[in-house]
Structure 1
Amino acid sequence: MAETVVVYHSGYGHTQRLAQAVAEGAGAQLLAIDAEGNLPAGGWEELAAADAIVFGSPTYMGGPSWQFKKFADASSKPWFGQAWKDKLFAGFTNSGSINGDKSSTMFYFFTLAMQHGGVWVGNGMMPSNAKAAQRNDVNWIGTFAGAASQTPIDASAAEMLPGDLETGRQFGQRVATAAQRWSRGRSA
């Protein structure tokens, strides 16, 4: 079984709920970046052992949180030794607005993964964009680079829409399937 780690920062709990849905779908370990931008003890070792790394952060002001950026900057140590080269990478984000410039956060994740010599996994889901589409449909936001969710700024994490969480869960399944195929192919 391929090992997947979901490394994320969550400011108010919404991104954590999406991280949990992604991890559930992927059968992945959760690795939370704390409020100071640090990983818990053993976190770097978990990432080193992973076949796939999934990045997660809220989108604040058109990009990931500063805590996630601190983690990304600290990843220059594994980068220098190419420790994450040929791992699979993916990402997800949440913001208060439907668009909220989530794509900027996704491109940040993608660029980070490419700098590490990784291979990116998108969500592989068709968008729910027909007239009959409902806000609670899977991939209603219509992203392709990863999973995205939207939560009104005055809504608690418990009020996140089941469709957004299901999008995260299905995205996690896709990452796990890709990681299984990738790790089999690399060992052949």
Structure 2
Amino acid sequence: MAKIVVVFHSGYGHTLRLAQAVAEGAGATLLPIDAEGNLPEGGWDTLNAADAIVMGSPTYMGSVSWQFKKFADASSKAWFTQAWKDKLFAGFTNSATMNGDKLSTLHYLFTLAMQHSGVWVGTGLMPSNSKAAQRNDINFVGSFSGAMAQSPSDASPAEMPQGDLDTARLFGARVAAAAARWAQ
């Protein structure tokens, strides 16, 4: 079985719920980045041993949080030795508005993965884009490059749309399936 790690920062709990859904779908280990932008003890070893790394951050001002950026900058030690070369990578994000420039965040995560010589896994999910589509449908936000979620700014993490959490779970399952195939 492939070792999958979900490394993420969550400012208000919404991205944590998304990370938990991705991890559930992937059978992955959660690796939170704390409020100071640091990994827990042994975090770098966990990432080095992973077959797939799924990265998550809220979208703040059109990009990742500063805490995630601190982690990304610190990953330059792994980059220098190409320690993560040929690992699978994927990403997810959440913002308060339907668009919220989430694609900029996913592009940031994709670029970080490419700098580490990784291989990117997208959602593999068709968007719910018909007139009959409902907010709790799978991939209602309509992303192919990574999982996107939208949580109103005055909504608690418990109020996240179930469709976004279901999308994250299916996305995690796709990463797990890709990791199993990649390992062959």
TM range (shorter): over 0.9
- Alpha-carbon distance in 2 for matches of 1:144, 1:98: 15
**Which residue in the other structure is 1:8 paired with?**
8
The alignment status of 1:178 with 2:178, answered yes or no, reads: yes
- What pairs with 1:1-188 in structure 2 (closer than 5 Å)? 1-184=1-184
- Alpha-carbon distance in 1 for matches of 2:113, 2:153: 29
- Give secondary structure in 2 for the equivalent of 1:64: coil
Residue 169 of structure 1 deviates from its aligned partner by 0.1
- Give secondary structure in 1 for the equivalent of 2:46: helix
Aligned residues: 184
* C-alpha RMSD of the superposition: 0.3
Residue 183 of structure 1 deviates from its aligned partner by 1.1
Unaligned runs of 5+ in 2: none
Question: 4+ runs of 1 displaced by more than 3 Å?
Answer: none
- Give secondary structure in 1 for the equivalent of 2:164: helix
Residue identity (%)? 75
- Alpha-carbon distance in 1 for matches of 2:131, 2:155: 26
Query: Aligned letter for 1:43?
Result: G
Unaligned runs of 5+ in 1: none
Query: Aligned letter for 2:127?
Result: P
User: CA deviation digits over 1:10-39, x for unaligned, max 9?
Assistant: 000000000000000000000000000000
User: CA deviation digits over 1:63-106, x for unaligned, max 9?
Assistant: 00000000000000000000000000000000000000000000
- Alpha-carbon distance in 1 for matches of 2:37, 2:145: 24
